Structure 1
């Protein structure tokens, strides 16, 4: 019988509203709201704890090349502005190579399309019948 009792949906318990005298304090926080707020708080607390631990174990002699290539502006790391690495001639050469690659891929795709379309040329025609009739003598078979 207990399995039948579990199958019947239970009545949802409604939580009470904020009393009229306390309306000035805003909405009454329900338990499920508290649970969401508490979980978020503990998640943030845990993140802060991990970051503090990471900072405590940090090696003061640690070095990365990005430390040279960037500078901090208002506490934010920003890469130093670089002059253009390539000359005008090199840029033109790179663009030509890119164009050549694009043209080559277009050509190969066209060949693939042609190959596939050549296979599909007989789809419109009707298939010949391939029924085989068995006869007992030669005259009936013709």
Structure 2
């Protein structure tokens, strides 16, 4: 009988809506809404009570070393700014260490590319004939290389099993991804080297577009010649 009772359709009990005279107060609050509001209220009340207890039992003679480098502004603790925390010599040293790490990653990626290219060399049966492209600068050469690699079709023997084909295609994708990563790391290294040189002493100025011999999208600086004693 219980299963039959559950199978019969039951009346859907709807909650009472806000009366017409109280429409201006918004939706009628239900019990579940009151529970959420009450929990939030009591949580804030308990937090305020704990703060009052801490303020009441505070030791006026307490001291922390962080108080030396902090001050109170309008009752709010404001620590000192750490913008000039390091000297220019320390900043140059950290910049050099960062550049050394980037160069290490570039060399590591190049070794992995050489190893992966040597493994895939036997599967590459493409003809050695091809077009020769001439570039004006390094950026144009990188763009031509990326376009050429994007349109290159990898030739895989049709007699190979499917899992070998999938692994070979994945290896070629990994090779292209590592080459792209090396290009990004080299650009980052050049930018960091330029910033490091700009931090050094010496008068310098940024060249205008008409003064640059080889046009490039990156800024070019010229240092003033100084006599070495």
* TM-score when normalising by structure 1: 0.64
Aligned pairs for 1:1-142 (under 5 A) are 1-2=1-2, 11-56=11-56, 58-81=58-81, 84-122=84-122, 124-125=156-157, 126-127=159-160
> Shift of the alpha carbon at 1:83?
7.6
> Shift of the alpha carbon at 1:16?
1.2
Closer/same/farther in 2, CA of residues 78 and 2 from structure 1, 3 Å limit: same
Q: Deviations over 1:82-104 (max 9, x none)?
A: 68354434433332232122111
CA distance in 2, matches of 1:49, 1:122: 75
Higher CA-based Rg: 1
Aligned residues: 128
Tell which deviates more after alignment, 64-73 or 114-123.
114-123
Question: SS of 1:71's equivalent?
Answer: strand
Structure 2 unpaired stretches of 5+? 124-155, 162-229
> Shift of the alpha carbon at 1:122?
4.8
Structure 1 unpaired stretches of 5+? 129-142
| RCO comparison, higher one (Cα < 8 Å, 6+) | 2
